[in-house]
C-alpha cells in the first residue's frame, strides 16, 4: 500500500513533458535516416517534412517519414514524400517539384482515397505508398467480413497540371 502511494506521488512529481514523446529528437532521427537513404542533406529532409506538414508549429506535428522516393517521378522532376501519423498510421502523400538539391515546391498532396477512406494501417496489414514510372501507387489494407486482408491499390498519375486518380484494383495479402 505504502509503495503504491509513494509511486503515485512520484508520478505526480514527474513533469508531463518528460512523459511525452520528444518529437524534436524523433524528427532529427528521421531526418538523418532519410538523408542517408537519399543522399540529401538532413536539413533539406527536415525542410521538406515541414513543407509537407499541416501544422504551423512543428512541435505540434507527430508525423513521421514513411518514404522519400526520388526516382519514381523523376521524369517530371518530382519527389514523392510520404508521412504517417495518428493511432492508425495514416499516410499523407505529398509531391514536390525539385529545382535543385535544396529547392523544392509543393505540387500535390492527398491523405485519402477518392472514396473518402484514409490511407491507414489495419490490424491485418500496413498501408504503403511508392512511385514507379511516373505513377504513384498506394497499397491500403481493407479488412474483409471473413477477417482476411485484401489490399486496394490506388493509382495516381501526372496529367500535366497535377496528379489525378487514374484507378484502383484489388491485390491479395503480403506487404
CA distances from 111 to 8, 101, 149 (A): 41, 26, 21
**In which order are the strands placed within the sheet that holds 149-158?**
128-132, 135-143, 149-158, 163-172
* Angle (deg, nearest 10), helices 23-38 and 42-52: 120
Give which of 61, 34, 36 is closest to 50, Cα–Cα: 61
pLDDT at 18 over 90: no
Average pLDDT over all residues of the chain: 86
Does pLDDT of 76 surpass 60?
yes
Least trusted range by pLDDT, from 86-90, 117-121, 139-143? 139-143
| Separation CA 134–CA 157 (nearest Å) | 6
| Residue range 87-117, pLDDT digits in tens | 999 999 999 999 999 999 999 999 999 989 9
Give dist(CA 46, CA 62) in Å, integer. Answer: 13
User: CB count, 10 Å around CB of 52?
Assistant: 21
For range 127-133, the mean pLDDT: 97
Cα separations in angstroms, 31 against 43, 88, 93, 162 = 7, 22, 17, 27
Q: What are the domain boundaries of the chain?
A: 19-172
For 17-47, give one letter per residue: b (16+ CB within 10 A) or e. eeeeeeeeeebeebbeebbeebebebebbbb
Reference 90, options 55, 66, 115; nearest CA is 66
pTM of the prediction? 0.84
Contact in structure between 92 and 85 (CB atoms under 8 Å) = yes
Q: What is the pLDDT of residues 19-51, one digit of tens each?
A: 346 778 888 999 999 999 999 999 999 999 999
Position 173 scores a pLDDT of: 62
In angstroms, the first-to-last Cα distance of the chain is 48
Given this model, what pLDDT does residue 12 score? Answer: 43
pLDDT score recorded for residue 174: 55
Predicted confidence band of residue 143 (pLDDT cuts 50, 70, 90): confident
Amino acid at each position: 500500500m505504502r509503495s503504491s502511494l509513494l509511486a503515485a506521488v512520484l508520478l505526480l512529481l514527474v513533469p508531463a513533458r518528460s512523459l511525452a514523446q520528444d518529437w524534436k529528437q524523433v524528427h532529427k532521427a528521421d531526418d538523418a535516416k532519410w538523408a542517408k537513404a537519399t543522399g540529401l542533406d538532413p536539413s533539406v529532409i527536415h525542410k521538406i517534412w515541414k513543407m509537407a506538414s499541416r501544422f504551423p508549429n512543428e512541435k505540434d506535428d507527430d508525423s513521421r517519414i514513411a518514404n522519400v522516393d526520388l526516382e519514381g517521378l523523376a521524369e517530371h522532376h518530382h519527389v514523392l514524400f510520404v508521412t504517417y501519423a495518428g493511432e492508425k498510421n495514416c499516410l499523407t502523400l505529398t509531391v514536390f517539384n525539385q529545382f535543385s538539391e535544396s529547392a523544392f515546391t509543393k505540387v500535390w498532396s492527398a491523405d485519402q482515397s477518392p472514396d473518402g477512406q484514409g490511407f491507414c494501417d489495419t490490424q491485418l496489414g500496413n498501408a504503403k505508398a511508392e512511385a514507379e514510372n511516373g505513377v504513384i501507387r498506394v497499397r491500403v489494407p481493407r479488412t474483409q467480413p471473413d477477417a482476411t486482408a485484401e489490399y486496394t491499390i490506388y493509382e495516381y498519375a501526372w496529367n500535366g497540371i497535377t496528379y489525378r486518380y487514374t484507378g484502383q484494383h484489388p491485390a491479395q495479402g503480403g506487404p
